[in-house]
């Protein structure tokens, strides 16, 4: 059972498994919104001699059961990456196991390298869901360079696209990850042809676009006043943000295996929706909730990124996060302009922001006289410490 994308790596694997293992290969392609032609992938797999091929449309499930929990958790790995690739791996692994058990497969195969994160995600999830089935990761074994892999593909009559020669691309509806080639030089700007979902900021419209996103219990439910199901909403925000040049991410990332890597992503909808969600949380949660949840969110995104989606700790964190979202209902207004993103307004029936308390008018209902006593107690220990510190530095009187 091979997780098959239709791309270079997994197409080569079909032939490799047939030749090295004398295996009958069953392929499965899981559609998580990567925007690729599933029929073409199936046709390609059959031409390469697979025993069976399965195409699974999991876009709605991915949006509802994987992306929406990530939104609730403000999932940004190392503060930048919306884990668009990470989120899809446990779903793909679960579908692989489901079919493998029905078909009596003796091996579960993925095309991950020994340097990346995906090997961890697949191995851990597959091993947890189907411990009795052998996991095979041929790319870790053969050690081929990308150039050697392309050459091997040509000898086997496997077509190689122009983009595959330049970049390694992985996509879902939550974002595109672009690697290899010129991008490996971390000192150089990504070439414009690496991007597909976003226009260059300087070529975006000259007029800002205002977008209002409505949330209910922590998840987005409407865009510009129009209610939409999860998948359609994400796709719509991808279009809006993409045409305004919003959602390009370029950063140095710490992989699970210890390497630092230069990563380039396109995540238009994720960038906008996560920014809106974080802003709304600050309006409806107490300071204590906001600060504590930041710690929970950081642990949640690490587990998802590090391949521990099926670890019980994630379930525990989900319970807290879901409870915390009960009041995260309202609207956030954002301005998108030439690659920039700015929250310009928000409202909620559960808002803890009270204009009558917060305004600077002398007639405010906030009793300012209370502040003096509060400050006296708030800074008491700080003043005591500094008094002792000063006293300890005074020169001691000499004995007669």
For residues 334 and 341, is the Cβ–Cβ distance under 8 A? yes
> Rg (Cα) of the chain, in Å, rounded?
26
**118 counts as catalytic:** yes
> 10-30 in b/e burial notation, b at 16+ Cβ within 10 A?
bbbbbbbbbeeeebebbbbbb
Rounded to 10 deg, the angle between the 230-243 and 268-284 helix axes is 110
Q: Please report which helix (H) or strand (E) contains residue 167, including its range.
A: none
Residue among 211, 152, 176, 192 at smallest CA distance from 343:
211
Say how far residue 94 (Cα) sits from the centre of its chain.
19
How many Å apart are CA 78 and CA 98, to the nearest integer?
33
Instruction: Mention every residue, 6+ apart, whose C-beta is less than 8 A from residue 329.
Output: 215, 216, 217, 284, 348, 349, 350
Pick the catalytic residue: 84, 168, 172, 324? 168
Pick the catalytic residue: 118, 123, 170, 297? 118
Residue among 101, 68, 32, 359 at smallest CA distance from 233:
68
**254 counts as catalytic:** no
**371 counts as catalytic:** no
Pick the catalytic residue: 89, 121, 176, 346? 89
Alpha-helical runs (H) found in the chain? 8-20, 38-47, 59-62, 68-72, 84-103, 118-129, 138-142, 146-155, 162-166, 230-243, 268-284, 287-305, 312-324, 355-358, 370-378, 380-393
How many Å apart are CA 308 and CA 274, to the nearest integer?
22
How many Å apart are CA 70 and CA 269, to the nearest integer?
13
How many Å apart are CA 57 and CA 360, to the nearest integer?
55
Token pair for residue 132?
């009795």
Token pair for residue 336?
């998108």
**9 counts as catalytic:** yes
For residues 129 and 310, is the Cβ–Cβ distance under 8 A? yes
Active site residues: 9, 89, 118, 168
């Amino acid at each position: 059972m091979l997780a098959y994308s239709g791309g270079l790596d997994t197409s080569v694997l079909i032939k490799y498994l047939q030749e090295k293992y004398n295996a009958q290969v069953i392929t499965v392609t899981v559609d998580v919104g990567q925007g690729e032609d599933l029929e073409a992938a199936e046709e390609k797999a059959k031409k390469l001699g697979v025993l069976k091929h399965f195409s699974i449309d999991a876009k709605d499930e991915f949006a509802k059961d994987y992306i929406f929990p990530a939104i609730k958790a403000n999932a940004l790995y190392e503060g930048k990456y919306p884990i668009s690739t990470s989120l899809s791996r446990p779903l793909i692994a679960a579908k692989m196991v489901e079919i493998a058990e029905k078909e009596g497969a003796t091996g579960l195969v993925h095309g991950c390298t020994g340097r990346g994160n995906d090997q961890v995600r697949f191995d851990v999830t597959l091993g947890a869901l189907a411990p009795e089935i052998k996991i095979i990761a041929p790319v870790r074994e053969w050690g081929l360079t990308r150039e050697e892999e392309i050459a091997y593909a040509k000898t086997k009559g496997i077509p190689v696209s122009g983009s595959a020669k330049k970049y390694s691309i992985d996509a879902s509806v939550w974002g595109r990850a672009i690697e290899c080639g010129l991008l490996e030089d971390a000192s150089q700007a990504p070439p414009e042809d690496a991007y597909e979902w976003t226009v260059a900021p300087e070529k975006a419209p000259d007029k800002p676009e205002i977008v209002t996103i409505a949330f209910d219990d922590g998840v987005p439910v409407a865009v510009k006043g129009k209610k939409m199901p999860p998948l359609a909403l994400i796709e719509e925000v991808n279009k809006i943000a993409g045409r305004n040049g919003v959602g390009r991410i370029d950063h140095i990332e710490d992989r699970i295996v210890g390497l630092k890597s230069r990563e380039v992503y396109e995540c238009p909808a994720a960038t906008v929706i996560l920014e809106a969600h974080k802003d709304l949380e600050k309006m409806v949660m107490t300071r204590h909730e906001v600060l504590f949840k930041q710690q929970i969110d950081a642990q949640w995104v690490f587990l998802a990124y590090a391949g521990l989606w099926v670890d019980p700790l994630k379930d525990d964190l989900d319970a807290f996060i879901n409870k915390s979202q009960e009041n995260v209902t309202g609207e956030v207004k954002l301005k998108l302009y030439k690659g920039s993103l700015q929250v310009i307004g928000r409202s909620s029936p559960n808002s803890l922001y009270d204009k009558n308390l917060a305004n600077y008018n002398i007639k405010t209902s906030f009793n300012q006289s209370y502040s003096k006593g509060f400050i006296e107690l708030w800074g008491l220990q700080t003043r005591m410490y500094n008094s002792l510190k000063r006293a300890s530095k005074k020169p001691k009187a000499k004995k007669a």
